[in-house]
Chains A and B, each alone.
Chain A
Amino acid sequence: MPDDANVLAIEGLRAGYGALEILFGTDLLVAPGEFVALMGPNGAGKSTLLKTIFGMTAVTGGSIVWNGERISGRKPRDIRRRGIAFVPQGRCNFPLMSVDENLDMASCTIPGTRRADRDFVFDLFPILRERRRYPAGYLSGGEQQMLEMGMAMLQRPRLLLIDEPSVGLSPQAIHQVFAEMLRINAEGCTVLLVEQNTRKAMEVAKRVAVLRLGQVIWTGPPSAITHQQLGSLFMTGRLDMAPDDTVFPTV
């Protein structure tokens, strides 16, 4: 296997919406099997970065390389075929279609998915099996989040991009969703998580990356940074308190 197998390398990425640039030279290197929590203040461009990796915004510069292949500029469909799954922020399902039909839609674009794979999703989130004939729009927020995650899991991704899965969820549902991320990560799937719940994110992630004004300004293991330091990074872009030796700024 080449060295860059399942490596996600983002270099000098510039992207945004139409003429509006949101990412100004973002750099991020994610190793195979890593669990990275991407954090930052509102509007920093976290969701934009995930959308851009998945081919849903206009790239104006820099590159995204996955698995040794440049994927920037490709369509979401092609990116998904390369083993990347995306669970966006907010609701992303077909509200008037049943849970079953939603899962059908998720699998109809992946050749070789069978009914058995659906049982695999139901085993991960048993509540979905009970609700399989309900329209997705009638499910609770937590159930919808599980459905959306199940839709991503159907494709057996090697890289999961997941954006704020804990918003509006009960502690119980948050626990289930995070347990599932840890499980697939343990099976070798790389996870890039955007999360406002910094406490929870720092519990599960092996590494933290801080995005501010469209650039990654700090990255390191959760143990290398305190919550105060994180807060000050969000607000001023600087670590006000003296960091310990393991902290290495990237910019």
Chain B
Amino acid sequence: MLQNLLTDGLVIGSVYALVSVGMTVILGVLGQINFAHGEYYMAGAFAAWWAIDRLGLSYIESIPLAILIVAVLSLVIGYVVMQRLVDVSFDAGIIATLGISLLLQNGATLLFGGTYQVFDGGWLAPMRVLGEDIAQQRILIVLVTLAVFGALEWLVRKSSFGKQMRAVAQNVECCHVLGLDVRRVVLITFILGTTLAALSGVMTAPITMNIYGAMGEAITLKSFAVIVMGGMGSIGGTLLAGWVLGIMESLVAAYVGLQFRDAVAFTLLVLVLMWRPSGFFNTKARY
């Protein structure tokens, strides 16, 4: 039973980590919280659903297509809105991203209707791991998350683009002085962050099965809680915080009551802000 809960928590935690790390990288370079973040998660799930349900593609084919669609969407939004947020105040960023959130939510409702859609895809056959039956899709989520975090660490630490991301995060003015193309770095990072949310949405939809226009709302708020716990900008911290949240939720749902599940993120958020506002983990890890 406990092992079951822990694996469950790890899977859900991986979903949170994957979507949140997109918010982390965007926060890093832009210094803004993307309050529309969950909407890209929703858009990823809907794009895959549309590809499967309307175009008749298989799940595996729908994944790259959904990511491509969200990439194009965020290219447009990034170009029109997000690039301008580099040197504006924090509250302007909140208003702008909240506005985008409304647009995307209502856009999805307009396009696909206000009711739930059933997501029909994924690999739900069980697999035996450590004496437990787990749906393949769940194992895949954990593996993909680990791979993505490994790749992100490499990207940020070692690659030339990653150095530019850190440079923009640390000193925008100095980037201008050195002639770095700050807007390009912001745009690419934004697309990276939103496609990670989309990937998370596509990977999770087979498990949650129901998708709807407002499904991203809770994800945005939970991502916010995760990145605060993770130390606002630390990639490794985001992974650990995602897992902590997932496992706590699954324990609370089982031992306290299912209705308290969604309160866990906010309780943790409040506790962290009260006692350790720099996050659970190494505060110096921020890039």
Measured CB to CB, the residues of A under 8 A from B are 54, 56, 76-77, 80-81, 86-88, 92-97, 101, 104-106, 108-110, 151
Contact = CB atoms under 8 A, between A and B. Distances in A.
Given A87-B177, A96-B166, 20 more contacts: A56-B176, A56-B177, A76-B177, A92-B173, A92-B174, A94-B166, A94-B167, A94-B170, A95-B170, A97-B170, A101-B163, A104-B163, A105-B167, A105-B180, A108-B160, A108-B163, A108-B164, A108-B180, A109-B178, A151-B178
Nearest to A90: B173
Given A94-B167, A97-B163, A105-B167, A77 B181 contact: yes
B3 interface: no
A80 B179 contact: yes
A80 B180 CA distance: 10
Contacts of B178: 80, 105-106, 109, 151
A77 B185 CA distance: 14
A143 to B, nearest CB: 16
5 contacts: A81-B179, A86-B177, A93-B171, A101-B163, A109-B179
Contact of B180 (A86, A93, A95, A109): A109
B287 interface: yes
Interface string B158-190: 001001101100110111111111000000000
Given A104-B163, A105-B163, A96 B170 contact: yes
Interface string B60-71: 000000000000
A56 B237 CA distance: 36
Contacts of A96: 166, 170, 286-287
Contacts of A105: 163-164, 167, 175, 178, 180
Nearest to B286: A96
A97 B177 contact: no
A54 B174 CA distance: 12
B177 A88 contact: yes
Contacts of A108: 160, 163-164, 180
**Which interface residue of B171, B286, B287 has the most chain A CB atoms within 10 A?**
B171
Contacts of B286: 96
Contacts of A94: 166-167, 170-171, 174
A54 B178 CA distance: 11
Contacts of B171: 92-95
Nearest to A54: B177
A95 B284 CA distance: 12
Contacts of A76: 176-177, 179
B187 to A, nearest CB: 15
Contacts of B170: 94-97
Contacts of B179: 76-77, 80-81, 109-110
Contacts of A109: 178-181
A92 B177 contact: yes
**Which interface residue of A77, A86, A97, A105 has the most chain B CB atoms within 10 A?**
A105
A95 B170 CA distance: 7
Contacts of B175: 105
Given A76-B176, A88-B173, A97 B181 contact: no
A76 B183 CA distance: 13
Contacts of B167: 94, 97, 105
A101 B180 CA distance: 14
A84 B179 CA distance: 11
Contacts of A86: 177
Q: Which 6 A-B residue pairings sit nearest by Cβ, starting from the closest? A: A80-B179, A77-B179, A109-B179, A94-B170, A92-B174, A76-B176
Interface string B123-151: 00000000000000000000000000000
A224 B163 CA distance: 49
A78 to B, nearest CB: 8
A102 B167 CA distance: 9
B166 A97 contact: yes
Contacts of B176: 56, 76-77
A109 B163 CA distance: 13
Contacts of A151: 178
A123 B181 CA distance: 29
Interface in B248-287: 286-287
